[in-house]
Structure 1
Amino acid sequence: MKINKIYIPLLLATVLAIGMLLGSFLNFPAQQAGKMGMASTGSHKNKLNKLLDFIDNEYVDKVNTDSIVDLTVTNILEKLDPHSVYISKDEMAGVAQSMKGDFVGIGVNFYMYKDSVAVIKPIPGGPSDKAGLKAGDRILYANNFKLYGRKLNNDTLFSKLKGEEGSKLTLTVFRKSDKKQFKVNVTRDVVPIKSVDAAIMLRPSIGYIKINRFAETTYDEFHKALVQLKKDGATSLVVDLRDNGGGYLEKAVEIADEFLKDGQLIVKTKNKKNRVDETDATSKGIFETGQLYLLINENSASASEILAGAIQDNDRGIIVGRRSYGKGLVQREMPLGDGSAVRLTVARYYTPSGRSIQRSYANGDEAYFNDFQKRYESGELYAADSIKVADTLKFKTVKGRTVYGGGGIVPDVFVPLEGKHGDEAIAMVMQSGITSYFIFEQLDKERKEFSGLSAEGIAKQVATGDTYFKAFNAYLLKNGLVFKLEPHKEKVKRYLAAEFARQVLSDKPYYEMILKEDNMIRAVLEKK
């Protein structure tokens, strides 16, 4: 595989961005803290206030002291740990919404294609779907605000499409398939943001649930999916936590409770005053005896690790994959009174065996967030014997198996990254937005040809010949990405067919196609 110079920093930036998101905004209790004194009393507090007053009143140029305060708070928190962060007033709404599980809007997946807002797909059952919008439609106006032919940023677009629940929005739409323009009234409503991406049967007795984060609605989504899979005959279950950066600790605990028996320890936390809080399972679990497998990788963090640690230490199931991220710090969100907040580390969490899986941040934030690169270079992502564990941090599971603390959950069954060393970028790009956009643009030209096809029909159409494979290669080149796709032709075609199926049909056939050749799923099936 050849990656041009433009793409190398893009890959590294992607990895760093994932790490920053994992580090900054995840694994915190759902409830906000009450009133707490955030600043130290005495001379240090007075010194800071006096300095700000001097700058306000005496500094030669006009200065926005609010921005100075923001910078000061950020710099202070950077001295603590990588996961204590400041959230500005402008960021708060987006951060809160990402974990809420829903938002109020018109319910469409879209992106700016050429000079217009193109609907990739209306969210099923959402306001736009009910109003009759279809994939491929262009939204020209939101009320009287022109959306096409302009370089609008996402914030502007969202501000025009979102609004109060029950409020009306008149959209002017161009439907390419009919070559007509029309207006449609959409009533904004609550639109769910799924945290359970898929719940399918891998085999007649094996269910599969993919969780992308732990938000307010995650447990409810998970429980509903688990009940349905049991009705469908699932006696074994695979829970996919790959690339799940965490979220609300309580939701991971609730899911663990479905698998563990009454009284079994799930997690414990310890604060600076040595107060230890333990959380045990209850008797309400509905899957306490079936075979259980959890899939993790280097981006499974915080709440994902709580769940994986509880299952591993209680010998309840088998952990499959690669060593997890290694975040064992608990944050609490504390409002600062002006719409901003700090997310402060207030405790460490420990798995049932007593291990902390927080990896070291003694070498600073840069080294901490570059851990993925370190693992890549050491070969850990390709060979189990390259995983470095601390012999001094040995712990025992309920049945006496040895597990290790000090840096993530080490899986019971190791599965390397797919392909040869250096091929991992292929899988990354196939699961990225650029593949989704390519498929949309193909459908924009050939939507009628795919209309009415089943998942099998779509797979056959993509697999026959190399038309879409060559078109995708050209699309990557056009966007400055150079890969040797030929050795990975079958994998590329499979991902292209799956994305066609997702946009034409639903998420379910996407996962059914992808998981057929998934190495971690293969490892699970081999254990059966």
Structure 2
Amino acid sequence: MTEEKSTKEYGVKAWIPLIVGLSIGLGVIIGTHLRTPSVDNKRMTVDSNASKFERLLNYVDKYYVDSVDVDQLTQKAIDHILDDLDPHTVYVPPSEADIMASRLDDGFEGVGIEFRVIDDTLKVVSLMPGGPSVKTGIRAGDKIITVNGDTIAGQNFSNSQIVKKLRGKKGTKVEVGIKRRSEAELLSFSITRDKVPTPSVESSYMIDEATGYIKISRFATKTYDEFHNALLNLKSDGMENLVLDLRDNGGGFLGQAVKIADDLLPKDDLIVYTEGKGNEFSEKEYSIRPADFTGPIVVLVNERSASASEIVTGALQDHDRAVVVGRRTYGKGLVQRQIRLKDNSLLRLTISRYFTPSGRSIQKPYGDGISYNNDINERYESGELFFKDSIKLDEMPQFKTDNNRIVYGGGGIIPDNFVPLDTTSLGIYYYTLEHTDLLRDFALNYANDHYINLQEHGLAHFIDNFESDTSLITQLEKFSEMNGVFRKSKHHNPEQIDEELVHRIKVTIARALWGDEGYYQVLNTKDPMVKEAKKIIQQGVATETKDLKVKG
């Protein structure tokens, strides 16, 4: 045995995992799961190759000299194959598939709390409305020490391990031991698990006497039903103008986006069209009935508004039906189909591109040399999130709206009114409290200490009167000093910092006690995009540009 021969054998051996992996991946994806009967020559070729890959895998598994982890090799091979496709075609292994699939469900079975692990202790941040923990009497700020008699505090459990302990089938019970402020002993609660609703319309309320606000966090299985009900309720409350908040909404089901646009556009308006391979995935979606709301609309978007959010925004902008406010959206114009494979894994396969009514593809560039997933950081570094002029419009194709306004494709939707990212400097004390979670802890402690009084007076009273407690900043400073954070020097604008600290405390308490509904009602009182939307409505800029009632 010579060294040359040994080196050659090693070289061949080094290539075997990649060759086998590619073979397995192609066989699994193309041959086994996407095969449909056909006499077409191309299909026959795919079937023949799939059979070849299957035989190759069998030979490797049976005869290869070293042991091979087939599952791991398959995962690597599939990832390698999909790397050459678009960024949104992905394979999800069986261990993660159910979690991925459930992200667009309307609920889950469990106890219904949101928590954070702080200093190895689980702290309840908020309770999910309609969930079993609310009915049991658990409060935001409570610390869960034991679950079914097992101590979880100080055990360094991961979030997924804690979720596994708390979630379970509807009707089953879980016993928890809770440490509550001002209580010397652990409190015992028996929670009967139930279906916990996770609405995608997180908030809907009247900002003022004439303006309604609807926040959609994602496009899930029941988003349209939730949106439609919210729309009807706001109309009954006297809504004449609508602020539709799609910020940080990463998308979801295209069909839900189409239905929502249908509620806001006149009959027979084109909403979106898709182009795929052949005719199977090429479709045009139109509004099929008169609009349910005909008043002025302002849509709020940012750099994390993607996919289905961009479908709704693009349709309303192209038809001059709404004023778009915020920052350039993410730029995802590809449509995926979710395919469940035989081993319970998932393939999210891009099947088509979508286009807004004016013909825009808003998909941002991807491919070799493009840092696709780092795009938002690059926008930050280039100054685009702070200055609209930083967007390179000369590199984007132009299109026309119904009223001949110029809009752009090739990389997200550019808003009509730009609102920059807030860069206000609030000093080291504020940011230390934020990033050490001390500000959240103080707010949750306050909510727990004043729980009964706050609940009795309700959200509206809280919004109007919370700032009347003039001792808040003094209490906060004492709390932070007890935890080793001192306000050593005054910032050049201490009044502004104190005002922002009180606001953040108020927002956190609102979410802890009243969920998303309370959170957004408090948050929006100082939100710059909401302020811009109200200004646009007051100035008449968002006044409808079509006679919807005639066209409908």
Tell me if 1:496 matches 2:485: no
Q: Could you list the per-position Cα deviations for residues 458-487 of structure 1 after superposition, in whole angstroms to 9, with x for gaps in the alignment?
A: 333378545436856997979xxxx99967
Change (3 A) 1:506 1:153: closer
Give the alignment partner of residue 522 of structure 1, picking from 517, 531, 536. 531
Report if aligned partners of 1:120, 1:440 keep a CA contact under 8 Å in 2. no
Partner of residue 513, structure 1? 522
- Find the aligned partners of 1:296 and 1:503 in 2 and give their Cα distance: 26
Partner of residue 269, structure 2? 264
Give the alignment partner of residue 134 of structure 1, picking from 123, 132, 139. 139
Amino acid in structure 1 at the alignment position of 2:35: G
Q: Secondary structure at the match of 1:337?
A: coil
- In the superposition, the TM-score normalised over structure 2's length comes to 0.79
Tell me if 1:250 matches 2:255: yes
Give the alignment partner of residue 37 of structure 1, picking from 29, 35, 38. 35
Report if aligned partners of 1:390, 1:406 keep a CA contact under 8 Å in 2. no
Tell me if 1:277 matches 2:278: no
Report if aligned partners of 1:462, 1:493 keep a CA contact under 8 Å in 2. no
Give the alignment partner of residue 86 of structure 2, picking from 76, 81, 86. 81
Report if aligned partners of 2:326, 2:418 keep a CA contact under 8 Å in 1. yes
Q: CA deviation at 1:506?
A: 4.2
Tell me if 1:396 matches 2:400: yes
Change (3 A) 1:456 1:180: farther
- Find the aligned partners of 1:342 and 1:473 in 2 and give their Cα distance: 52
Q: Secondary structure at the match of 2:272?
A: strand
Ranges in structure 2 where 5+ consecutive residues have no aligned partner: 1-31, 37-42, 455-461, 539-552
Partner of residue 453, structure 2? 452
Q: CA deviation at 1:111?
A: 2.6
- Find the aligned partners of 1:265 and 1:212 in 2 and give their Cα distance: 24
Change (3 A) 1:517 1:392: closer
Partner of residue 286, structure 1? 292
- Find the aligned partners of 1:186 and 1:370 in 2 and give their Cα distance: 43
Change (3 A) 1:333 1:103: same
- Find the aligned partners of 2:391 and 2:238 in 1 and give their Cα distance: 37
Change (3 A) 1:395 1:334: same
Q: CA deviation at 1:51?
A: 4.8
Partner of residue 222, structure 2? 217
Q: CA deviation at 1:387?
A: 1.2
Partner of residue 97, structure 1? 102
Report if aligned partners of 1:143, 1:170 keep a CA contact under 8 Å in 2. yes
Report if aligned partners of 1:498, 1:514 keep a CA contact under 8 Å in 2. yes
Amino acid in structure 2 at the alignment position of 1:37: R
Partner of residue 310, structure 2? 305
Change (3 A) 1:135 1:70: same
- Find the aligned partners of 1:132 and 1:390 in 2 and give their Cα distance: 58
Q: CA deviation at 1:248?
A: 1.0
Q: CA deviation at 1:311?
A: 0.2
- Find the aligned partners of 1:429 and 1:236 in 2 and give their Cα distance: 40
Q: Secondary structure at the match of 1:333?
A: strand
Change (3 A) 1:88 1:427: farther
- Find the aligned partners of 1:321 and 1:426 in 2 and give their Cα distance: 29
Q: Could you list the per-position Cα deviations for residues 101-149 of structure 1 after superposition, in whole angstroms to 9, with x for gaps in the alignment?
A: 2000111222334344333333233212222323333333333433233
Q: CA deviation at 1:272?
A: 1.9
Change (3 A) 1:258 1:446: closer
Q: Secondary structure at the match of 2:108?
A: strand
Q: CA deviation at 1:92?
A: 0.9
Within 5 Å, which residues of 2 pair with 1:49-448? 49-273=54-278, 276-283=282-289, 285-287=291-293, 289-364=294-369, 367-390=371-394, 393-419=397-423, 435=437, 438-444=439-445, 447-448=448-449
- Find the aligned partners of 1:360 and 1:474 in 2 and give their Cα distance: 51
Change (3 A) 1:497 1:217: same
Amino acid in structure 1 at the alignment position of 2:467: A
Q: CA deviation at 1:294?
A: 0.3
Partner of residue 31, structure 1? none
Report if aligned partners of 1:109, 1:123 keep a CA contact under 8 Å in 2. yes
Q: Which has the higher contact order (CA 8 A, sep 6+)?
A: 1
- Find the aligned partners of 1:411 and 1:130 in 2 and give their Cα distance: 43
Q: Secondary structure at the match of 2:377?
A: helix
Q: Percent identity?
A: 39
Q: Secondary structure at the match of 1:307?
A: helix
Amino acid in structure 2 at the alignment position of 1:165: K
Change (3 A) 1:83 1:425: farther
Partner of residue 461, structure 1? 469
- Find the aligned partners of 1:118 and 1:41 in 2 and give their Cα distance: 54
Report if aligned partners of 1:473, 1:485 keep a CA contact under 8 Å in 2. no
Residues 485-494 or 368-377, more deviating: 485-494
Change (3 A) 1:400 1:426: farther
Report if aligned partners of 1:451, 1:504 keep a CA contact under 8 Å in 2. no
Change (3 A) 1:47 1:472: farther
Amino acid in structure 2 at the alignment position of 1:401: R
Amino acid in structure 1 at the alignment position of 2:240: T
Report if aligned partners of 1:212, 1:244 keep a CA contact under 8 Å in 2. yes
Q: CA deviation at 1:258?
A: 1.0
Change (3 A) 1:90 1:148: same
Change (3 A) 1:213 1:64: same
- Find the aligned partners of 1:342 and 1:334 in 2 and give their Cα distance: 5
Q: CA deviation at 1:199?
A: 1.3
Q: Could you list the per-position Cα deviations for residues 293-321 of structure 1 after superposition, in whole angstroms to 9, with x for gaps in the alignment?
A: 00111111000000000100111111111
Residues 302-311 or 178-187, more deviating: 178-187
Change (3 A) 1:346 1:63: same
- In the superposition, the TM-score normalised over structure 1's length comes to 0.83
Change (3 A) 1:369 1:399: same
Q: CA deviation at 1:281?
A: 0.8
Report if aligned partners of 1:104, 1:191 keep a CA contact under 8 Å in 2. yes
Counting matched residue pairs gives: 486
Q: CA deviation at 1:60?
A: 4.1
Report if aligned partners of 1:450, 1:458 keep a CA contact under 8 Å in 2. no
Q: CA deviation at 1:238?
A: 0.3
Q: Secondary structure at the match of 1:354?
A: coil
Bigger Cα Rg: 2
Report if aligned partners of 1:256, 1:311 keep a CA contact under 8 Å in 2. yes
Change (3 A) 1:407 1:97: same
Change (3 A) 1:42 1:465: closer
Report if aligned partners of 1:256, 1:307 keep a CA contact under 8 Å in 2. yes
- Find the aligned partners of 2:252 and 2:70 in 1 and give their Cα distance: 33
Change (3 A) 1:425 1:323: farther
Change (3 A) 1:473 1:146: closer
Q: CA deviation at 1:157?
A: 1.6
- Find the aligned partners of 1:181 and 1:282 in 2 and give their Cα distance: 58
